[in-house]
Amino acid sequence: MLVNTYSRRIFSLAYQFSGTREEAEDMTQEIFLKLYNALAKYDFGRNFDAWLLTLARNHLIDEYRRTKWEKKSRDDFNEYTLSAGEVSNPEDRMLRKESRRLVWEGFNSLSAELRMAVILRDIQGKKYEEMAEIMELPLGTVKSRVNRGRLQLAKIIRDKKGGNP
Amino acid sequence: MKCAHIEEMLSSYIEDELPAEKRQTVEAHLDACPDCRSLLSCLEATTDSLSRFPQAQISEDLLQRLHAIPARRKRVRFLPGFLLRPSLQPILAAATVLMTLVSFYTFNPNKDAIDKSINRQLHLGYRKAGKIYSRAEAFALSLGEHKDNILESIKSTKLFGRSEE
């Protein structure tokens, strides 16, 4: 039940954060192991999604700090986007794919905290209030991290494109 | 207003979260500053790309491993549960003390000094035991001289209040 409901979401978060399928699979497995061990401590007054994402986020950041993933390369972007289908115009599709590739590669330049904030907000689509609960931080700090992460990514992309947005 | 200050507000600007007064300030600055306009375009392209990232596909192999976690935990839990049975606790405690002493002796840098000390204590023990044994022998010999008197005293002793016939 837990696996069917949450595995894809947790794996996506781990993959977007770590950038490699191998790391993401290991991390997902470890997160679920932690989840089963921590279920007895779950406070039923708390939102389960937020509680699970807090556990996942803490594990991913702890592992990142322990292993320093930023030195490793990310998976090839094309492999990641095989299932992405949108935008009818081929030119727009190419431009958007190129933008996503630059963003995907730019993630490695962000610190763990900024990367996590951007992923939760812009890819996972979390509200700031939910993020504050997941990240166990004040709302203002969360917004500041999202802003700084986005700006860093935007500058990386601007530099790679040679100043053209 | 300086560009750095405007940059801090760009994320809230694109999310339409700025108060009207600050929004006008940002727009006035953007009209006059091509660098910040370029950064804003990159920021919008970045958030647009991020929002179109697809969820990563989870492999069947990982799903199977995740489903197997609860069963694996039960197997792993058998061992500590068995070892924590109350009847085994004195044995485990004694084994722990023994192992601690053995490891203290084995890995002690002054092992030779400990060996000498143990030998000395054993030697002293043997000598004491020898003395006690020789004293016991002398006492037994001295008893032999008074054997007849002792037997006579025992015979004349009243047992259970009955008189000797």
Count up the domains in chain B and report the number.
2
Mean pLDDT of B137-152: 83
From A99's Cα to the closest Cα of chain B, the distance in A is 6
Task: Identify the helix (H) or strand (E) that includes residue A63.
Answer: helix A48-67
A17 inside 8 A of chain B by CB: no
Assess if residue A92 is contained within a domain.
Answer: yes
Q: Are A24 and A15 in contact (CB under 8 A)?
A: yes
Assess if residue B142 is contained within a domain.
Answer: yes
- Separation between Cα atoms, residue B21 and residue B99, nearest integer Å: 74
Sign of CA dihedral A139, A99, A125, A106: negative
pLDDT of residue B81: 59
CATH of the domain at A104: 1.10.10.10
- Of B51, B71, B91, which one is at a domain's C-terminal end? B51
Top-ranked range on mean pLDDT: pick from A7-11, A161-165, B82-86, B152-156: A7-11
Partners of residue B47 in chain A, C-beta under 8 Å: 122, 150
Assess if residue A155 is contained within a domain.
Answer: yes
From B46's Cα to the closest Cα of chain A, the distance in A is 6
Decide if pLDDT at B63 tops 70: yes
Range of the domain at A103: 2-160
Mean pLDDT of B27-49: 91
Inter-chain CB proximity A118 and B50 less than 8 Å: yes
Inter-chain CB proximity B8 and A165 less than 8 Å: no
Assess if residue B74 is contained within a domain.
Answer: no
- Please list, in sequence order, all residues whose beta carbon lies within 8 angstroms of the beta carbon of residue B27, skipping any fewer than 6 positions away: none
A7 inside 8 A of chain B by CB: yes
Inter-chain CB proximity B67 and A24 less than 8 Å: no
A165 inside 8 A of chain B by CB: yes
B131 falls in which pLDDT band (50, 70, 90)? very high
Assess if residue B163 is contained within a domain.
Answer: no
**B62 vs A11, A125, A150: nearest CB:** A11
Say how far residue B157 (Cα) sits from the centre of its chain.
67
Assess if residue B58 is contained within a domain.
Answer: no
What's the mean pLDDT when you consider all of chain A? 84
Assess if residue B42 is contained within a domain.
Answer: yes
A11 falls in which pLDDT band (50, 70, 90)? very high
Assess if residue B123 is contained within a domain.
Answer: yes
Inter-chain CB proximity A96 and B48 less than 8 Å: yes
Assess if residue A135 is contained within a domain.
Answer: yes
Assess if residue A142 is contained within a domain.
Answer: yes
Count up the domains in chain A and report the number.
1
- Separation between Cα atoms, residue B6 and residue B163, nearest integer Å: 122
Assess if residue A165 is contained within a domain.
Answer: no
Assess if residue B75 is contained within a domain.
Answer: no
Inter-chain CB proximity B49 and A100 less than 8 Å: yes
Say how far residue A20 (Cα) sits from the centre of its chain.
12
Question: What is the token pair recorded at A58?
Answer: 């803490």
Assess if residue B95 is contained within a domain.
Answer: no
Q: Are A88 and A35 in contact (CB under 8 A)?
A: no
| B116 CB-contact burial (10 Å; exposed 0-12 / middle 13-18 / buried 19+) | exposed
Range of the domain at B36: 3-51
